[in-house]
Structure 1
Amino acid sequence: MHAMFLPLKPAGEYCLFQCTGNFLLRNQRLDIHLEGDRVIYFDEDDSPQDVLQRSLPESTLTAWFKYNSNNPHDLQAKETLYPDFCENYTFHKNQNPRVWKPRRSGFGGTIGRVYTVSPKDIEKYHLRMLLYRIPGATSFQDLRTYNGEIYHSFQATARAMGLLEDDNEWSATLTEASLTMHPRSLRQLFCILLAFSGDVSNPYQLWLDHRSNLAQD
């Protein structure tokens, strides 16, 4: 079995963790990928033409787009961000096609976690940023649309929305990363932000704000 294109971790991975009140919450990992960047699995004796024509199962992201597009009167869905969607909806990964459906009452307790993206992957990084800002999106193009204008990239859309006018996004990135990264890796991330984001306005202040985590070792 072989794979081509960018590898994505499978949707619907769950883990359990303890919360207050002895209540267990489930954590669902949510896919993130650019349009057309999906995994294709094939055997070595499959013909390339058959492989390229093979239909792909919906990811949690594309299924989210489809649910929003097919259910325009679901006001709750229209107001829900992608990372929060699994709080009130369930992803049926074993169904064909894969779909999101409203969660039955009494079966809550799921928190969504979108896979982390390196700032070096500029477009996917800004796609993730928009998914945490724009609820009810119906397509990749919908995410690139702001005030009626369709932008050529997710980074351009984020800039038009004013998300890159200060260093709040980069500070949030370092704060999130500090929960799981060692100081050395965190310093590498800090350098990546300076080298690849192109939008850090005050590197010295960003360092001061996070120096306790950056210099722990």
Structure 2
Amino acid sequence: MHKEVSNIVRLALHLLGMHSVIFDPNDDAAHTIRKQGLAIGRLYFANPSAGEIFYLQLLLTVVRGSQSFNYLKMVNNIAHPTFKDACLALGLLEDDKEWIQCLEKAAGMCSDFQLRLLFAVILIHCTPTQPQDL
């Protein structure tokens, strides 16, 4: 080893059209290509409750050679409308069968109040992938 040190750059996640760029319009600095050294990128942590940003991060860690946001949403030549749908199509997320079965079993033996309470607990603590389908 020759004591070479790679630069590590932390990359911020953003959705299409929702990133902030700060620049000085009076600065005439030109972009120059790095002549030596390597740069390794790292992504910030995204909590599952962050929604589309979490699914974007998940796709970025799995899909190789992505070139655009639309490329990330393309799975098996099908363009998905959201990053979450693309993650579901790739099998990166679990389906909600266990929550549906839980609610079906509870419907036979719980009161309406208990069923609504169970539904709220599932929504808040279990983060189902398709809550509108429950």
Runs of 4+ in 1 over 2 A off after TM superposition: 20-26, 194-197
- Number of the residue aligned with 1:151: 80
- Number of the residue aligned with 1:169: none
Decide whether the 8 Å contact of 2:6 with 2:37 is kept in 1.
no
- Number of the residue aligned with 1:32: 13
Decide whether the 8 Å contact of 2:5 with 2:37 is kept in 1.
no
Decide whether the 8 Å contact of 1:123 with 1:155 is kept in 2.
yes
Deviation at 1:40, TM superposition (A): 5.9
Distance 1:132 1:195, change over 3 A: same
Distance 1:135 1:95 in 2: 30
Distance 1:158 1:151, change over 3 A: same
Structure 2 residue 125 is matched with structure 1 residue 195: yes
Aligned residues: 97
Decide whether the 8 Å contact of 1:144 with 1:151 is kept in 2.
yes
Q: What's the C-alpha RMSD, in Å, of the aligned pairs?
A: 3.3
Q: How does 1:36-115 map to 2 (within 5 A)?
A: 36-39=17-20, 95=30, 104=35, 107-108=37-38, 110-115=39-44
Deviation at 1:23, TM superposition (A): 5.6
Matched residue type, 1:119: P
Distance 1:40 1:196 in 2: 36
Structure label with greater radius of gyration: 2
The one of 94, 111, 117 equivalent to 2:46 is: 117
Distance 1:39 1:107, change over 3 A: closer
Distance 2:126 2:70 in 1: 24
Deviations 1:145-179 (A, max 9, x none): 1001011110110010011138xxxxxxxxxxxxx
- Number of the residue aligned with 2:55: 126
Matched residue type, 1:107: G
Deviation at 1:39, TM superposition (A): 2.1
Question: Unaligned stretches of 5+ in structure 2?
Answer: 23-28, 96-123, 130-134
Distance 1:23 1:137, change over 3 A: closer
Deviation at 1:134, TM superposition (A): 1.1
Among all aligned residue pairs of Structure 1 and Structure 2, give the percentage whose two residues are the same amino acid.
28
Distance 1:133 1:95, change over 3 A: farther
- SS of the residue aligned with 2:86? helix
Deviation at 1:32, TM superposition (A): 1.3
Distance 2:3 2:86 in 1: 42
- SS of the residue aligned with 2:8? strand
Deviation at 1:131, TM superposition (A): 0.5
